[in-house]
Amino acid sequence: MSEISIRRASHEDIPEWLRMRRALWSTSPIEDLRWAMDETLSDPKQAVFFAVREDGSPCGFVETGMRSYGEGCETSPVGYIEGWYVDDDVRNQGIGKRLVQTAEDWARSLGMVEMASDTWLDNEGSIAAHVRMGYFEVERLVHFVKKL
């Protein structure tokens, strides 16, 4: 396995970040995925970290932010994992865990004492990964919509 480093994302990383966001949220329109990426990188209440191969190419990311509320949390604000992705060819090597630990360190550096996250009910891989890293399920939610 080649050495993977973790670093903060920059504006120059937007094309690769967008590539990975498209892989993570494949049913979302590209316009929605591209929206607010520049602002996210400039917002002190948000951070994006990249996992990078030895050749400099990104192979994963975590988007983290500060929220006033997280389900099951007792404090405010809380750190929140907004998005988390690792390329298929480097999965199961601890890269995702390192990305989340970096996000947790970022939140801790801003004085937060809790970190929250979410995933889809059927995303068993993500649920299992969260549990392996010490996260625990606090509630399940079903959303509804009706056209008027």
CB 59 within 8 A of CB 52: yes
- The pLDDT of 79-87, averaged and rounded, is 95
pLDDT of residue 2: 63
| pLDDT tens, position by position, 2-51 | 699 999 999 999 999 999 999 999 999 989 888 889 899 999 999 999 99
Q: Is the pLDDT of residue 146 over 90?
A: no
pLDDT of residue 82: 95
| Distance (Å, whole) CA 96 – CA 93 | 8
Q: Is the pLDDT of residue 85 over 90?
A: yes
pLDDT of residue 66: 96
Among 65, 85, 61, 87, which Cα is nearest to 77's? 65
- The pLDDT of 49-58, averaged and rounded, is 94
pTM of the shown model: 0.90
What domains sit in the chain, N to C, each tagged with a CATH number? Answer: 5-132 (3.40.630.30)
pLDDT of residue 134: 93
| pLDDT tens, position by position, 18-28 | 999 999 999 99
Ramachandran region of residue 36, left (φ > 0), alpha (ψ -120 to 50) or beta?
left
